[in-house]
Amino acid sequence: MDGTILDSLALNDVQREAVAYLDGPELVFAGAGTGKTRVLTAKIAYLIDRGVYPSRIFAATFTNKAAREMRERVEKFINAPAAGLWIGTFHSLCCRILRREAEAIGYTQPFSIYDTNDQLTVIKRLMPAFDLDEKATPAKYLLSIISSRKSACVTPDEFEASVSGFRDREVAKLYRAYQKALRDQQAMDFDDLISNTVYMLRQNGEIREKYQEMFRWVLVDEYQDTNRAQFCLVHLLSMKHKQIFAVGDDDQSIYGWRGAMIENILSFEKEFPNTKTFKLEQNYRSTSAILKFANAAIKPNKIRARKELWTNEPPAAPVKINRFRDDRQESDYVAGECGKLIQRMPGTDIAVLFRTNSQSRVFEEAFRKRKIPYVLVGGTSFYERMEIKDCMAYLRLLVNPKDDVSFERIMNLPARGLGDKAREQLASAAKQHGLSLLEAVMQRYAESMPSRAVKGFIDLRETFELLYRSMEEEAPPAQILEDMLHHTGYMDMLTGKAAVSEEEAARVENVNELMNALSAWYEDNAGGTLSKFLEEVTLAGDVDGWNREDNAVNFMTLHCAKGLEFRNVFIVGVEDGIIPSRQNFDDEAKIEEERRLLYVGCTRAMEALECCHADQRFRFGSIQPSDPSRFIDDIPQELYTFSNSAAFFGSPARAAAFGKTAGAAPSYPPPKRPAGASAPTRTPAPDAPPKRHPPPAYDEFSQEYEPQYRMGQTVTHKTYGRGKITAISGFGPDTKITVLFGDGQRRKLMAKFAKLE
């Protein structure tokens, strides 16, 4: 009986042992590609099969995507819906607990969740009162201190007690004021979701008892990325049954900058007595050439548990390191290679990984030029667009009238004649009566003021009265949003302009899309509330909306790529100052994290891996010289082949500088280091497929939508006249071009509508 489900899970020996172990705390070191997710999901399935109620299992991940995938896989294993299973991100699970117990910690039911922007708004408002000047101490910097304290579960009092300098004490006071402001506004930021749960469990014995009893099993994914607060949480929750199961890989800890403590995984055995530890070291993902390269890349790190991945796979193609003259040539090369690759495999199997989002730009241009489809994962997401945030602010305010941040955002949107002065007057009236800004408006405290703004405040109040009525009648959320857009005149504001620019057209489209998303969500989530929708949207990461598109190459940051795999991977910009980032030069621990980041990138590759670097690149608005990453120095040369394109396509002057002519590239590593004789290989790829016709679907596409624009081109628009193209973004039907017209106006246009000549 016992063995049946274990047999059906297709596990190797170590995996199987790890899944079947049930006698207390358990830590599984699971290297990249060793079946970490499989073990975690198998464990859950096994527990359920053994009779543990799904509702008594608490399984925390770091992304919604991982949680969703895991749930699906569990359900497949047990062949039934895992109803009641507590699986989700730390943030969403804590949110769920806090929503249930809100009163216990003095929050009324629907609290708002503040994202980073909201946090900054709050801090900027508070700063003047503490004599903090944005120029001397940027709000961003203050927020980072506060956030790091919060993610370590250090209260304002504890923080103040621990610092000595005058400025630090001011920061501590600001931290306290910030927490009070959030509370007044019935809001929590991301850090609060975790830390407030911890504080609540610590302080309230009854609630603690309840959840400790309830969660017989606590499982944690990516344990190496947990911060102090998350550690405290799972420690508390598992204290009663002592059945905690953590999987992770210290070599993939890449979130130290937001509080993750690699020590958590390295000291797990100390924190949880009688821990049984397993190590998964057989890699099923990559060829042995890739794995050896990755192992060598991570080896110099000192802070790590000892392990070495191995594989039964043959070496296959060697890893390549490519040197280029500049970022243009780098992107051109990658685009060309991807062009060849997508003729024999779907674009989804290919990824271009970079350290910073800003690196994507050149690649977008290169791919567009060659008409190779791509998807950019991450970047500015739909919900970060201005018009969407405006709509969301209205909705948030309807759910939580104390949400002053949202109020300030929409107070004068569309223009109601309410400016800074009106806001200040309102704020003091609200303060006097102990009300939030919206509450003060609704109770007409703003209407007796001797001010021109009164009209605006009346308008605002009437708008919200109407919306509240819709709420009471339990109109579907999409309807409420539509009412809002109509009553406030927000939609008119978007469409009403005399000359509707294409940018504004896109905004209208986005707002409509939000409405669709809202009603679709409402259909999928019977009985869902507006507040729940807002929560899901706020807690969704940018990978979450990503669907692999059949024929598009994936662009993403190295951070985004964690947990994913691709047959072909290009890591670009492997240069000092990028990987490792210049900002981390001074700190060895941070350098190690950068090295892990490179390691994460390398271990995404299944069949082929290429790392690229360029001698110079366009950064910071100018061309800057760049050296290959120091991490490359650590990798023995026999583990890769080197190709130097800088010398082949470089200027004659540059070629002369290396004392070489085309065909005989300089030795590698390049001049700054002692020459190690290597035999550079050109990138010919004898195994490359014969060139076939270009991807057909895309050609049609481009003919229809993309009449070949290039930077600097002079174009003529029906109404705006002649102008020069200054920027191109997007792709295919989404192509947008920015044109500087004769009247000095810069306009962003959708290429498919613009009809330019």
| Minimal distance, residue 709 CB to DNA, in Å | 13
Q: Is 447 helix (H, G, I), strand (E, B) or coil?
A: coil
Sequence-ordered strand ranges (E) for 587-660: 605-619, 622-625, 640-644
H helical segments located in 313-436: 327-341, 360-369, 386-399, 404-410, 420-433
In the complex, least distance from residue 408 CB atom to DNA, rounded to whole angstroms? 12
A 10 A CB-CB count for 134 gives 14
Cβ proximity to DNA, 222 vs 482, nearer residue: 222
Q: Are 189 and 216 in contact (CB under 8 A)?
A: no
- Choose between 132 and 319: whose C-beta lies nearer to DNA: 132
Q: Which is nearer to DNA, 323 or 416 (CB)?
A: 416
Query: How does DSSP assign 72-85, residue by residue?
Result: HHHHHHHTS--TT-
Q: Which is nearer to DNA, 62 or 698 (CB)?
A: 62
CB of residue 586 to DNA, shortest distance in Å: 10
Contact between 201 and 211 under an 8 Å Cβ cutoff? The reply is yes
8 A C-beta contact, residue 111 and residue 207: no
Smallest separation (angstroms) from DNA to the CB of 631: 14
Active site residues: 36-37, 221-222, 252, 604
Minimum CB distance to DNA, residue 422 (Å): 4
Asked if residues 475 and 405 have their Cβ atoms less than 8 Å apart, the reply is: no
Q: Could you tell me how many residues make up the chain?
A: 757
What is the closest distance, in whole angstroms, from the C-beta atom of residue 421 to DNA in the complex?
3
Query: Of the two residues 216 and 328, which places its CB atom closer to DNA in the complex?
Result: 328
Q: Which residues contact 677 (CB under 8 A, 6 or more apart)?
A: 667
Q: What is the distance between the alpha carbons of residues 231 and 181, in angstroms, rounded to a whole number?
A: 27
Q: Quote the least distance from Cβ 143 to DNA, whole Å.
A: 10
Euclidean distance between CA atoms 659 and 647, whole angstroms: 10
Burial of 133 (0-12, 13-18, 19+ CB in 10 A): exposed
- Of the two residues 91 and 461, which places its CB atom closer to DNA in the complex? 91
57 CB-near residues (< 8 Å, 6+ apart): 44, 47, 48, 85, 86, 87, 215, 216, 217, 219
Report the residue number, 131 or 687, with the smaller CB distance to DNA.
131
Query: Closest Cα partner for 396 from 348, 303, 464?
Result: 464
Neighbouring CB atoms inside 10 A of 185's CB total: 23
Q: Which runs of E-coded beta strand occur in 80-183?
A: 86-89, 112-114
Both tokens assigned to 422: 């009106």
Q: Residue 609: beta bridge partners?
A: 569
Report the distance separating Cα 651 and Cα 690, nearest Å.
Answer: 30
Cross-strand pairs, 280: 30
The residue among 544 and 549 lying less far from DNA, judged by its C-beta, is 544
What residue ranges bind DNA (CB under 7 A)? 62-64, 89-92, 115-116, 134, 138, 140, 190, 254, 257-258, 355-358, 378, 412, 415-422, 451-453, 539, 541-543, 557, 559-560, 581, 583-584, 620-621, 711, 726-727, 729, 744-745
Q: Which is nearer to DNA, 456 or 666 (CB)?
A: 456
**Helix axis angle, 588-602 to 288-298, nearest 10°:** 180
- Provide CB contacts within 8 A for 14, sequence distance 6+: 278, 279, 280, 282
Q: How far is the CB of 676 from DNA (least distance, A)?
A: 29
Instruction: Report the nearest approach of DNA to the CB of residue 740 (Å).
Output: 10
